[in-house]
Chain A
Amino acid sequence: MEVTKITNATRTYKIGEVETKALRGVDLSIENGEFTALVGPSGSGKTTLLQLIGLLDQPTTGNVFINGKDATHLNRNQRADLRKDAIGFVFQFFALIPTLTAYENVEMPLLLNGTKPADRKKRVNEMLEAVGLTDRAHHRPDQLSGGQQQRVAVARALATNPKLILADEPTANLDTENGKQVMDIMQRLNKETGVTFVFATHDPRVINYANRVVTLQDGLITNDSKSNGKH
Chain B
Amino acid sequence: MTQLFKLAYRNLWRNKTRSLLSSLAVAGGMSLLLLMASVLEGELRGALQNTIRLQSGHLQIRPASYEEGKISLKWEDMIADPDQVAGQIKSLPQVTVATPRLMASGILTLSDESKGVQIIGVDPASEANQPFREGMIAGEFIQADDREGILIGNILADKLKLNVGDQVNLLVTTSNGDVDEQLFTVRGIFTTRTPGFDESNVLMPISKAQAFTATENHASTIFVLLQENEQAELVAEALRSNNFQILTWRDQNQFVVQFEDYAGVFLVFLYLIVLGITATVVTNTLVMAVFERTREIGILAAIGMKGRGIMAQFLAEAALLATGGVIGGLIIGGAAVAYFTVNGVYIGDMGITGVLFEERIYAHLTLENAITLAIVTYIITLVASLYPARLAARMEPVEALHGLGD
- Chain A residues within CB distance 8 Å of chain B: 42-48, 50-51, 54, 56-57, 76-77, 80-81, 83-85, 88-89, 91-93, 95-100, 108-109, 111-113, 156, 168-169, 200
Chain A residue numbers with a CB within 8 Å of B295 are 93, 95
Provide the bound-state CA to CA distance between A112 and B299, in Å: 13
Report if B302 contacts A (CB, 8 A): yes
Q: Which residue of B lies closest to A202 (CB)?
A: B406
19 intermolecular pairs with C-beta atoms under 8 Å apart: A44-B406, A46-B405, A47-B405, A48-B406, A56-B398, A56-B401, A57-B397, A57-B398, A80-B304, A81-B306, A89-B303, A91-B302, A91-B404, A93-B404, A99-B7, A99-B11, A99-B13, A111-B3, A112-B305
Q: Are A80 and B301 neighbours in the complex by a CB distance under 8 Å?
A: yes
Q: Is B405 in contact with A50, judged by CB distance below 8 angstroms?
A: yes
Q: What is the distance, in angstroms, from A66's C-beta to the closest C-beta of chain B?
A: 13
Chain B residue with the shortest CB-CB distance to A92: B404
B14 within 8 A of A: yes
Q: How far is the CB of B377 from chain A (nearest CB, A)?
A: 27
Q: Are B398 and A95 in touch, CB under 8 angstroms?
A: no
Are B404 and A108 within 8 A (Cβ)? no
Extra contacts besides A81-B304, A84-B305 (19): CB < 8 Å? A47-B406, A51-B398, A56-B302, A56-B401, A76-B306, A77-B307, A80-B301, A80-B304, A80-B306, A81-B306, A91-B299, A97-B300, A98-B296, A100-B7, A100-B10, A108-B300, A108-B303, A112-B309, A200-B405
Chain B residues engaging chain A, CB cutoff 8 angstroms: 3, 7, 10-11, 13-14, 295-296, 299-307, 309, 396-398, 401, 404-406
B302 touches A54 (CB 8 A): yes
B13 to chain A, nearest CB (A): 8
A85 touches B304 (CB 8 A): yes
Whether A91 pairs with B303 at a CB distance below 8 angstroms is: no
Q: Are B299 and A95 in contact (CB under 8 A)?
A: yes
Question: Would you call B296 and A97 a contact (CB within 8 A)?
Answer: yes
B4 closest partner in A (C-beta): A111
A-side contacts of B303, CB under 8 Å: 83-84, 88-89, 108-109, 112, 156
Shortest distance between the CB of B12 and any CB in chain A (Å):
10
Nearest neighbor of B304 in chain A, beta-carbon distance: A84
> Which of A43, A95, A97, A109 touches B304 (beta carbons < 8 Å)?
A109
Q: Which residues of A contact B296 (CB under 8 A)?
A: 97-98
Among all A-B residue pairs, the 3 with the closest Cβ atoms: A84-B304, A47-B405, A99-B10
Nearest B residue to A42 via CB reads B406
Q: Which residues of B contact A200 (CB under 8 A)?
A: 405
Q: Across the interface, which residues of B come within 8 angstroms of A47, CB to CB?
A: 404-406
Nearest neighbor of B307 in chain A, beta-carbon distance: A76
What CA separation (Å) do A91 and B401 show in the bound complex? Answer: 9
Contacts of A100 in B (CB 8 A): 7, 10
Q: How far is the CA of A50 from the CA of B306 in the complex (A)?
A: 20
Residue of chain A at shortest CB distance from B309: A112
B304 touches A113 (CB 8 A): yes
The distance from the CB of B397 to the nearest CB of chain A, in whole angstroms, is 5
Q: Which residues of A are found within 8 Å of B404, using beta-carbon distances?
A: 47, 91-93, 168
The distance in angstroms between the C-alpha atoms of A200 and B406, with both chains bound, is 10
Asked if A99 and B14 make an inter-chain contact with CB atoms under 8 angstroms apart, the answer reads yes
Quick one: closest A residue to B13, CB to CB? A99
If A42-B406, A57-B398, A93-B404 touch, does A83 touch B10 (CB 8 Å cutoff)?
A: no
Residues of B within 8 A of A112 (CB): 303-305, 309
Hey, which chain A residues are within 8 Å of B14, CB to CB?
98-99
Distance in Å: Cβ of A96 to nearest Cβ of chain B: 8
| Closest-CB distance, A10 to chain B (whole angstroms) | 16
Most A Cβ at <10 Å: residue of B14, B295, B296, B304: B304
CA distance A95 to B11 in the complex (A): 16
Most buried by A among B11, B302, B398: B302
Q: Which residues of B contact A51 (CB under 8 A)?
A: 398
Residue of A96, A99, A100, A156 contacting most chain B CB atoms (<10 Å): A99
CB neighbours of B401 from chain A (8 A): 56, 91
Residues of B within 8 A of A43 (CB): 406
Contact: B305 with A80, CB < 8 Å? yes
Complex alpha-carbon distance, A67 and B102, angstroms: 98
Report the minimum CB–CB distance from A193 to chain B (whole Å): 19
Given contacts A89-B302, A97-B299, A100-B7, contact A168 B405 (CB under 8 A): yes
- Distance of A220 Cα from B10 Cα, bound (Å): 44
Taking the closest CB of chain A, its distance from the CB of B291, in whole angstroms, is: 16
Q: Is the CB of B306 within 8 A of A77?
A: yes
Instruction: Compute how far the CA of A77 lies from the CA of B310 in the bound complex, rounded to whole angstroms.
Output: 12
Q: Which residues of B contact A85 (CB under 8 A)?
A: 304
CA distance A121 to B17 in the complex (A): 34
Question: Measured between alpha carbons, how far is A48 from B405 in the docked complex, in Å?
Answer: 8
Query: A208 to nearest B CB, angstroms?
Result: 20
**Complexed CA–CA distance, A85 and B161 (Å):** 92
Which chain B residues lie closer than 8 Å to A77 at the CB level?
A: 306-307
In the bound complex, residues from chain A placing their C-beta under 8 Å from that of B304 are 80-81, 83-85, 109, 112-113
Bound: A55/B65 CA distance, A: 88
Closest Cβ neighbor of A159 among chain B residues: B303
Report the separation of the CA atoms of residues A95 and B397 in the bound assembly, to the nearest whole angstrom: 13
A21-B188 Cα distance, complex, nearest whole Å = 100
Least CB separation from A41: chain B residue: B406
**Separation of A46 and B302 alpha carbons in the complex (Å):** 17
The interface residues of chain A lying within 8 Å CB-to-CB of B7 are: 97, 99-100
| Chain A positions within 8 Å of B397 at CB level | 56-57
Contacts of A44 in B (CB 8 A): 406
Give the docked Cα–Cα distance between A92 and B404 (Å): 7
Q: How far is the CA of A155 from the CA of B302 in the complex (A)?
A: 15
CB-nearest residue of chain B to A44? B406
